[in-house]
Amino acid sequence: AQSVTQLGSHVSVSEGALVLLRCNYSSSVPPYLFWYVQYPNQGLQLLLKYTTGATLVKGINGFEAEFKKSETSFHLTKPSAHMSDAAEYFCAVTTYNNNDMRFGAGTRLTVKP
């Protein structure tokens, strides 16, 4: 079965600074990888996904992530943090048959003014 590990349960950055949220996956078959954002008391919003093709994927709100098979990683980045980026971020993995999706423990991003 596939799994995801998110390094760092809390990340704090200053407004305008680089955001880097780490995600490593484990999968015996080619993975489909996702980043979701969750604002307080709300549902899950898809930021971006990787399935096949280009390994650098761009998502909403200026986020992007790069699939690195050799490192089994799918880290999320944003060049310049905004106050509105403060939220919980979840990395998730599934496979082609997509019978289940496994989530990481989440990273809470705090943005300081």
Partner 1 sequence: EPEVTQTPSHQVTQMGQEVILRCVPISNHLYFYWYRQILGQKVEFLVSFYNNEISEKSEIFDDQFSVERPDGSNFTLKIRSTKLEDSAMYFCASRAREGASEQFFGPGTRLTVL
Residues found near partner 1 in the complex (CB under 8 A): 32, 34, 36, 42-44, 46, 49, 51, 90, 92, 94, 96, 98-106
User: Token match 């990481």: residue?
Assistant: 104
What is the rounded end-to-end Cα distance, in angstroms, of the chain?
Answer: 41
Nearest to partner 1 of 19, 47 (CB atom): 47
Nearer to partner 1, 41 or 70 (CB): 41
CB closer to partner 1, 17 vs 44: 44
Measured CA to CA in angstroms, residue 82 lies from 32, 91, 100 at distances of: 28, 20, 32
